[in-house]
Structure 1
Amino acid sequence: MKFANNFEALETRTLCSVYSVTSEANSGPGSLREALTLSNNSVDVYDTIEFHLNGAPGQLFRIKPTTKLPTITDPVKITGATQRFYDGSPQVDIDGSLCTTAGANGLEISTSNSLIVGLAFANFAGGAGVRINGNSNGVHECYMGLRGYGAANANARGVYIAGGSGNVIGANGAYRGNVISGNAGSGVRVIGETASYNTIRGNLIGTNVYGRKPIGNGAQGVYVGSGVTGTFISGNTISGNAGNGIQISGGDHTTIKLNNIGLDRDGGGFVPNGANGIRIDNGGHHNTIGVLADPSAQNKIACNDQDGVCIVSGVANTIAANEIRDNGQLGIDLGNDGITPNDVGDADAGANTLLNAPTVVGAYWYGGTTQMHIAFTAAPSTTYTCNVFYNDAPNQHGLAEGGKTLATLALTTNAGGQYDGWIPSFVDAPNAFLSATLTDPAGNTSEFSNVVHVRNDATRIPTMTITDAIVIEGNRDTSDVFLTVRLSSPLPTRLKYHWTSVNGTAFHDQDFIGSGTGSIAAGQTTDVIRVRVVDDTVPEPQEFFGVVISPDQPALVDVTKFQSTVAILANDGWASPFDADRSIVVDLIA
């Protein structure tokens, strides 16, 4: 009898080894050094190193290696969360105060897919708490530069990513973020052209473990170096650092959103960084701070000693819909040289192309709506993104920043590169101070505009009138009648309007011709409309037609009667049924 070959291939399984750290000793059985050595030697096995040190509740343990610990060369999970009584705060310190190896790091990863969870790293004066050169590694729930009870004991740096992609420093799934504070240099440093698409998320960088008080890093909170691409920095509190909160020095395509920079973790208390909130230099390009059309993704960049955002060099750096306020100098500074004046034609070059900032000509509130008049010069026939911001007051220097994003609008220049118009109603904001920025299609964002106080004084509303008129038909083909449009007091901005002639007993084309546009210039009170009257040679009694005016911004007008009456008399005369100086009065918001 023959049997069919029905054997199935066995499933390939990878075994997992667990090594326990039970001793604080530098080496020997149960030590961290021994566990790392054993894990590195178990190639192709995903190992776990757990901590099970004997002690009382609340006891902190210190492992003080005398020489550099073995570099991690095989994937492993090293977790202090297994230590008895672990409550989310590290109970095991890896302390470099006795380490004699120059430049030693607390732990160094030179492989992929490894995790470090729930440990404190301190006193590695020549190195980082954790150094990574590999892909898809994670560092979670650790203290860098602090001991387990939160006191500062500096490393040279907190976390140092020297290469690799897909690494996550901070919150990820069930894991929470790190506290990276009190280090001599940067809190997190990412350098090297092979370092790409790494994530720094949900950490406290420069504060105490509660995110309330400063325990600053001695340089930047986060540093992203030249050639680094695609770094994602989100949901962190980056405050209290001696230098810039975030510095992008030649990096590109960095995304920065949902961070508190210069504030405590709740976004209310002041914990300033000693320089700028964010600085981009060394030609950093195509970096994004916030999300243009999504204020919910904003960063809060406030109370920093220098600028909120300083772009020293580089282009296509977008600053979008953030809360930027109460900084020591400018909200946004292009070129690191103070306010950049606008230029005719916007033809200059520099940081973010030195894109011209918009000018807020005026802002008015009436009846629950706010109108804002904006003008700017830029590239012709181009659509720009305009962010409009609400402020309680100008900053301490009387300059504009952007406290709250009110609107994101698309504004298009004419063929001459000019935009001059009113932004539609967007908020009930009496007594606010408004400002704006522009972003061009390439992603360059301007500095802030001037700041303008919303005018809210109904007692000084000017009236708008249009005169009536009488015209006598002559013996020529046509005659002109002139109507005056008048304001009782001048406005600080140009008032544009349309006018249309309408039939009465006289008819368009047969008895009169006319429609068009007009405007009253800022500071002026009158404009003149010319309407043409046709002599049709047909004997007729006196006739009437109307002229209706319509302001381009209806929200600025208390609409009543916008119509002038024009009487056409026959050649033999006619008695006027109204006084020649009669006018129709229309309220207009100042």
Structure 2
Amino acid sequence: MIVTTVAALFAAASSANGYTLVVDKPDDDGAEHTLRWAILQSNARGGGGRIEIDPGADPQRPLVIQVNSLLPNITRPVVIEGKHRVAGEAPRVVVDGTRIVDDTTTASCPAENHVGSGPNVRSLQKPGLAVVDSGHIEISGLEIRHFCIGVLLLRSHDNHIHHNVVHDMVGAAGIMITGDDGTAAGGSTKGLSTNNVVERNVIYDTGDGGECTRGTTNTTYQYNVFFQSSPNTVSPRSQGVECAGEGNAGIRFLYNWFSGYSDGLQLNSANDVTVMGNIITNSTYGITAAGNGIVVKDNTISGNRMGVGLTGTSRATISQNRIFGNGQPIVSLPTSAGGTTDPASPVRLGIDLGIDGPTPNDPAGSCADGAPDCDTGPNELQNFPVLDAGSHWEANGTVTLRGTLASRPNATLTVEFFAGYARNVAVLGEGEIYLGAETVRTNAAGVATFTFVSHGSPFRDGTRGAFFTATAAAVFNTSSATSEFSAPLWLSR
């Protein structure tokens, strides 16, 4: 719905003036038909047209535009398109910053306060293309390389960045979306950085793949590929996408792929976030979050040190995911933000409330009224279910899981059930195959019993033994909060 709406707005903007500016020169002297000339012309005309960058007829020869200084900010609505893009191939239009950024050192990309440099400081420095205090701009079909930031959307709205390849940044991010107010302190704005769509881009070796910071709202990242090819690149492994600063809300991460980061997603400061259909792998932490109203659903989170970790007073629904094969001995570089640099860290769970290793259930008698589960923390440190020996797996494939859940008295909770071929690398339980869910209600003492039946083998491949786990989710102040995984129960048939 968002993409369709933004596309309609672009079409309306283009029809207002209807001009097309053709760029077919690699030079950066401001002459006619250079990219610098086209941006200046578009800004002067008030926008509403197109900049078409034509690499020519030879498919083996890209048009490489090496800029001599930063390009002008894009301040009026316009469509910027690299032409002759072939699906599955790199764009044939390249915007290159090697003449203004030394990509062998992060010192080329200093912080705004000149304390530190690189991807883990506040910086708006040296973007390849910058949309500033504007909106309704579409950028597609470009390879952007060797800047501090690939594309910067600063206090800008209703922009569409798609089908680009952004790589080898040594500064803040590949694609940065921010409401930064530009003051020395770097405060947040409200309602300026909103309704942006980033989709179908390939973003790699950029420190942070993306950022959504300082008042960014109603923004979607979908069908992108984010990866860090090596932990030893100049720009250290950092976040796939980082949301930091105040006022970030309504962010959606849909069907992206993240690999090789300290955190696939670091949602330090973001509320009402949807994370759905993504693949997150080969990272120290798959997802970290400290906000409320976070939904993590239908993702594959595998091969990381930790799957999903919550801190502070975060509230998150973690539902129907494939979380398995985590617990890997992956650590972040000391220069990374997030992750862990401690190889002895116990943070090797599929779901970790507190990012501090397994959290035991709060026992009966822990509350003033004698009930269990009164401890507080991320997701209220919700107790996990306990699967018992009455569970069994029949020869015909039917699985019956029985157990108990000790939680707040007279509470309604959702228990989800999972199967896995194995425990994770740290010999802890996770959930590779989602089996289904049951709604349970605790009694006055805070205890519920349950029996869940799944018909047909979970794996459909003749497997005769598996580990089974469960999670429990309660609602606190309208936000659902999911427990860690239960201890795994081995069953065979």
TM-score normalised by the chain length of structure 1: 0.65
Q: What residue in structure 2 maps to residue 35 of structure 1?
A: 38
RMSD, aligned α-carbons: 2.3
Compute the displacement of 1:47 (Å): 1.0
The 1:357–1:54 alpha-carbon spacing in structure 2 relative to 1, beyond 3 Å, is: same
Q: What residue in structure 2 maps to residue 364 of structure 1?
A: 392
Does the 8 Å CA contact 1:217/1:240 hold for their aligned counterparts? Answer: no
> How many percent identity over aligned positions?
29
The one-letter amino acid paired with 1:66 is: N
**What is the SS of the residue equivalent to 2:401?**
strand
Equivalent residues in 2 for 1:4-403 (5 A)?
Answer: 14-26=16-28, 27-43=30-46, 45-54=47-56, 56-80=58-82, 82-83=83-84, 89-99=90-100, 103-110=125-132, 111-125=134-148, 127-145=149-167, 152=168, 154=170, 156-163=172-179, 164-170=193-199, 177-183=200-206, 185-193=207-215, 195-206=216-227, 218-226=237-245, 227-241=247-261, 243-262=262-281, 272-273=282-283, 275-281=284-290, 284-290=291-297, 298-304=298-304, 306-328=305-327, 329-344=348-363, 345-362=372-389, 363-368=391-396, 369-403=398-432
Does the 8 Å CA contact 2:244/2:267 hold for their aligned counterparts? Answer: yes
The one-letter amino acid paired with 1:140 is: H
Higher relative contact order (CA 8 A, sep 6+): 2
Compute the displacement of 1:428 (Å): 3.4
Does the 8 Å CA contact 2:228/2:237 hold for their aligned counterparts? Answer: no
Runs (5+) with no aligned partner, structure 2: 1-12, 102-107, 110-124, 180-192, 328-347, 364-371, 459-463
The 1:316–1:350 alpha-carbon spacing in structure 2 relative to 1, beyond 3 Å, is: same
The 1:317–1:396 alpha-carbon spacing in structure 2 relative to 1, beyond 3 Å, is: same
Compute the displacement of 1:364 (Å): 0.6
Compute the displacement of 1:166 (Å): 1.2
Structure number with greater Rg is 1
Compute the displacement of 1:85 (Å): 7.0
The one-letter amino acid paired with 1:246 is: L
The one-letter amino acid paired with 1:449 is: S
Equivalent residues in 2 for 1:561-580 (5 A)?
Answer: none
The 1:370–1:53 alpha-carbon spacing in structure 2 relative to 1, beyond 3 Å, is: closer
Compute the displacement of 1:112 (Å): 1.2
Does the 8 Å CA contact 1:394/1:400 hold for their aligned counterparts? Answer: yes
Distance in 2 between residues matched to 1:402 and 1:87, nearest whole Å: 33
Does the 8 Å CA contact 1:250/1:285 hold for their aligned counterparts? Answer: no
Q: What residue in structure 1 maps to residue 466 of structure 2?
A: 432
Q: What residue in structure 2 maps to residue 422 of structure 1?
A: 451
Does the 8 Å CA contact 2:22/2:38 hold for their aligned counterparts? Answer: yes
Equivalent residues in 2 for 1:444-455 (5 A)?
Answer: 444-455=481-492
Runs (5+) with no aligned partner, structure 1: 1-11, 146-151, 171-176, 209-213, 263-271, 291-297, 457-590
Does the 8 Å CA contact 1:232/1:254 hold for their aligned counterparts? Answer: yes
Compute the displacement of 1:433 (Å): 1.2
Distance in 2 between residues matched to 1:86 and 1:448, nearest whole Å: 41
Compute the displacement of 1:78 (Å): 0.2
The one-letter amino acid paired with 1:280 is: A
Distance in 2 between residues matched to 1:116 and 1:245, nearest whole Å: 25
TM-score normalised by the chain length of structure 2: 0.77
The one-letter amino acid paired with 1:277 is: G
Does the 8 Å CA contact 2:171/2:235 hold for their aligned counterparts? Answer: no
The one-letter amino acid paired with 2:92 is: Q
Compute the displacement of 1:317 (Å): 0.8
Distance in 1 between residues matched to 2:80 and 2:469, nearest whole Å: 50
Does the 8 Å CA contact 1:165/1:196 hold for their aligned counterparts? Answer: yes
**What is the SS of the residue equivalent to 1:245?**
strand
Distance in 2 between residues matched to 1:155 and 1:119, nearest whole Å: 19
The 1:250–1:409 alpha-carbon spacing in structure 2 relative to 1, beyond 3 Å, is: same
The one-letter amino acid paired with 1:159 is: I
